[in-house]
Amino acid sequence: MNLMDGDDEEFGFSRNYFLAKELGGSAKKSTRRISDIKVVDEQELRAAASKLAPKHEREMTSLLNSYRSLYSKWAFELRCGFGLLMYGYGSKRALIEDFASTALTDSGVVVINGYLQSINIKQVVVAIAETLRDQLKTKRSPLTGNMSKFHQPFNSLSMDDLLAFLEGSKKKDNDCFVCVVIHNIDGPALRDCESQQSLARLASCSHIHMVASIDNVNTPLLWDKKMVHTQFSWCWYHVPTFAPYKVEGVFFPLVLINDGKTQSAKTAVIVLQSLTPNAQSVFKVLAEYQLAHPEEAGMPLSGLYTICRERFLVSSQITLNSYLTEFKDHELVKTRRHADGHDCFYIPLESEELEKLLQEIG
């Protein structure tokens, strides 16, 4: 009798499962769009965020103080030629700067704010070279005599010459070095291959000690084996602080602000990144035409189809229509009447925003 009850219960579960699948397949698709999200004014949102009461301040302060016992170990590892890489939840800006101001008082310190939107790597290296030169003059290092070939201003030197100066002598008795602190070495302006290679070469210089923080789980993908083990020589430290990213977050636009065209551009990026490469390419064709012909009402369907067919982006008019329908559903593309009576397709963004959008989607 118990077996029969078990079979009935199992049958009930199975029936409910297939019934749910059947109902789910017949349900209508959602008609909601990203553009339907209600946004607020930027000043209002930032004002509300600034009024949020901080929580667990005492616990976070206690956590930061607990890391102070590691300062001597971190300084020793820097002296041994290793780099320090801090990771963990929360802003690590205050922690790293406290370490630098407490345990690295006998060296020059250069801070790089990697969370900024744009950073000039060469200007950073120039600042580091100038800091090292001042140290060499103060301590009257044997290297001072080798500075004659660097009599030109550092700004006029190439990156190779600057790195050659920073490399200098590899004698162990040389006590001059500069500590480079990089907040968010995985920042948006430093994620390209060229910037990471320049930083790796910088870290391998004998007079440079590097301390950096990361907040992106995919950051290690930026480095190859040589960069990690030979140039950066990272010592990884899990130092969660649970501190808010107040300073780092100021330089990023808020997602939920009502900024008209900017909000539309951000929405377009999100939608386009979820589409197929061919759909993105069709959108690029339309965008490039609009940028090249800013005074026209839009791009005719016939012209769009001809170019997409030549570039093997679509195989038929039906395929192109499906892409355009998807664009219009997400309000990426709109239509308006041309002077000759035909409908034209256009993107409801200004040229500047459209150019930024094309850069975003690569």
Residue-wise DSSP of 227-253:
IIIIII-EEEEE-------HHHHHTS-
Residue 194's identity, in one-letter code, is E
Query: Which of 70-79, 84-93, 151-160 shows the lowest mean pLDDT across its residues?
Result: 151-160
Element of type H or E holding 168: none
Q: In 80-191, which residue ranges form alpha helices assigned H by DSSP?
A: 93-103, 121-139, 159-167
Mean pLDDT of 114-136: 85
Position 29 scores a pLDDT of 47
What 3-state class would DSSP assign to 169?
coil
User: Of the ranges 122-126, 133-137, 265-269, which one carries the lowest mean pLDDT score?
Assistant: 265-269
How confident is residue 157, by pLDDT bands cut at 50, 70 and 90?
confident
Nearest to 43 by CA among 249, 254, 251, 248: 254
The domains spanning 57-243 and 261-360 adopt the same CATH topology: no
User: Strand 343-346's sheet: what is its strand order?
Assistant: 299-300, 343-346, 334-337
223 touches 90 (CB < 8 A) = no
Residue 97 gets the label, from left (phi > 0), alpha (psi -120 to 50) or beta, of alpha
How many whole angstroms separate alpha carbon 199 and alpha carbon 203? 6
Indicate the range of 158-162, 248-252, 320-324 predicted with least confidence: 248-252
Q: Which residue has the higher pLDDT, 94 or 3?
A: 94
CB 209 within 8 A of CB 83: yes
pLDDT bucket at 264, cuts 50 / 70 / 90:
low
- Token pair belonging to 309: 């067919």
- Which pair of structure tokens corresponds to residue 126? 């120039």
Q: Which residue has the tokens 């950066």?
A: 232
* pLDDT for 177: 85
Closest Cα to residue 278, out of 324, 224, 235? 324
CA dihedral (134, 137, 141, 142) positive or negative? positive
Helix and strand totals (H; E) in the chain: 15, 8
pLDDT tens digit sequence for 9-64 = 666 666 666 666 555 544 444 455 555 656 666 667 777 777 888 889 999 999 99
Distance CA 146, CA 136 (A): 11
Q: What does the DSSP 8-state code read for residue 40?
A: B
Percentages (nearest 5) of helix, strand, coil residues in the chain? 55, 10, 35
Q: Say what percent of the chain tops pLDDT 70.
A: 78
Angle at 358 between CA 305 and CA 265, to 5 degrees: 105
Q: 358 versus 145: which is more confidently predicted?
A: 358
CATH topology of domain 57-243: Rossmann fold (3.40.50)
Question: So where are the chain's domains?
Answer: 57-243, 261-360
Using CA atoms, how far apart are residues 228 and 260, in angstroms rounded to an integer?
43
Q: How many CA atoms lie within 13 A of 335 on its CB side?
A: 12
Q: Is the pLDDT of residue 172 over 50?
A: no
Q: For residue range 182-231, list pLDDT tens digits in order.
A: 999 998 889 889 999 999 999 999 889 999 999 999 999 999 999 999 99
Q: Provide the CATH number for the domain formed by 261-360 in this structure.
A: 1.10.10.10
**Residue 285 contacts residue 327 (beta carbons within 8 Å):** no
